[in-house]
């Protein structure tokens, strides 16, 4: 398999003497894991909706608010 890197990215990898093959392997493994987890979460959500039904507007709004609080808390922890 051959992999193309844009010239600017290639230059940065070479300049920093990074192990391109190892980086690619890690990136591919991470992407495959991300896709597997996404598929599993979609499967779980579909099963859950078949058991309890689709959320109504109030439930979606509450879930959005909770997710927003979690995201802000994570951002504060990361920043400080």
Q: Tell me if 16 is assigned to some domain.
A: yes
In a domain, 62, yes or no: yes
Q: Does residue 16 surpass a pLDDT of 90? A: yes
Report the pLDDT averaged over residues 20-47: 98
Task: Say which residues have a Cβ less than 8 Å from residue 48's Cβ, sequence separation at least 6.
Answer: none
Determine, yes or no, domain membership for 15: yes
Residues in the chain: 80
Q: Per the domain annotation, does 27 fall within a domain? A: yes
What is the reported pLDDT for 1?
A: 86
Q: 18 lies in which domain range?
A: 7-79
Of 34, 38, 37, 2, give the one whose Cα is nearest residue 20.
2
How many domains would you assign to the chain? 1
Q: Is residue 2 part of a domain?
A: no
pLDDT at 36: 99
Residue-level pLDDT at 21: 94
Residue 1 lies in a domain: no
pTM: 0.68
Q: Would 68 be classed as within a structural domain?
A: yes
Task: Say if 31 falls within a structural domain.
Answer: yes
Among candidates 42, 45, 3, 40, which has minimal Cα distance to 20? 3
């Amino acid at each position: 398999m051959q992999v193309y890197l844009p010239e600017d990215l290639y230059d940065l990898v070479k300049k920093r003497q990074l192990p391109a093959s190892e980086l690619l392997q890690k990136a591919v493994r991470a992407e495959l894991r991300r896709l597997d987890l996404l598929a599993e979460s979609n499967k779980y959500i579909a099963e859950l909706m078949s058991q309890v039904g689709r959320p109504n507007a109030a439930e979606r709004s509450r879930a959005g608010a909770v997710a927003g609080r979690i995201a802000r808390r994570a951002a504060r922890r990361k920043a400080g």
